[in-house]
Amino acid sequence: GQQVMQIPQYQHVQEGEDFTTYCNSSTTLSNIQWYKQRPGGHPVFLIQLVKSGEVKKQKRLTFQFGEAKKNSSLHITATQTTDVGTYFCASLKTSYDKVIFGPGTSLSVIP
């Protein structure tokens, strides 16, 4: 079945450093979503990408969808302690009913 992988599993950065997490699939994805989960919290939707090669920005966060629609990345510029949490990518199957989540990347930011 469709699987979505994420790397790295964990990342520790000094505050102010950049951070990138990658999401990969062996099959073409119809779309990709990104969620953030703070420690002890619930996942919160960040963004959805649909088009091949799409790039979207939210302040210090940059999201990309690969040209082949098999991979995606989330890049955070100049991390802050408020960025701490686990970042998940997810994909809705073409029929937009089932959702497949990646295993997540846990980000720690050292002040």
Q: Which chain residues interact with other proteins by CB under 8 A?
A: 1, 6, 9, 31, 33, 41-45, 48, 88, 90, 92, 96-104
**From the CB of 98, what's the least distance to other proteins, in Å?**
6
d(CA 16, CA 40): 24
Q: Which is nearer to other proteins, 40 or 111 (CB)?
A: 40
**From the CB of 15, what's the least distance to other proteins, in Å?**
26
Chain centroid to CA 47: 9
Q: Which is nearer to other proteins, 15 or 98 (CB)?
A: 98
| 4, 23 contact by CB (below 8 A) | yes
d(CA 48, CA 65): 10
Q: Which is nearer to other proteins, 1 or 111 (CB)?
A: 1
**From the CB of 86, what's the least distance to other proteins, in Å?**
9
Which of the 8 DSSP states describes residue 68?
T
**From the CB of 7, what's the least distance to other proteins, in Å?**
13
3-state helix, strand, coil in the chain (%, to 5): 5, 55, 45
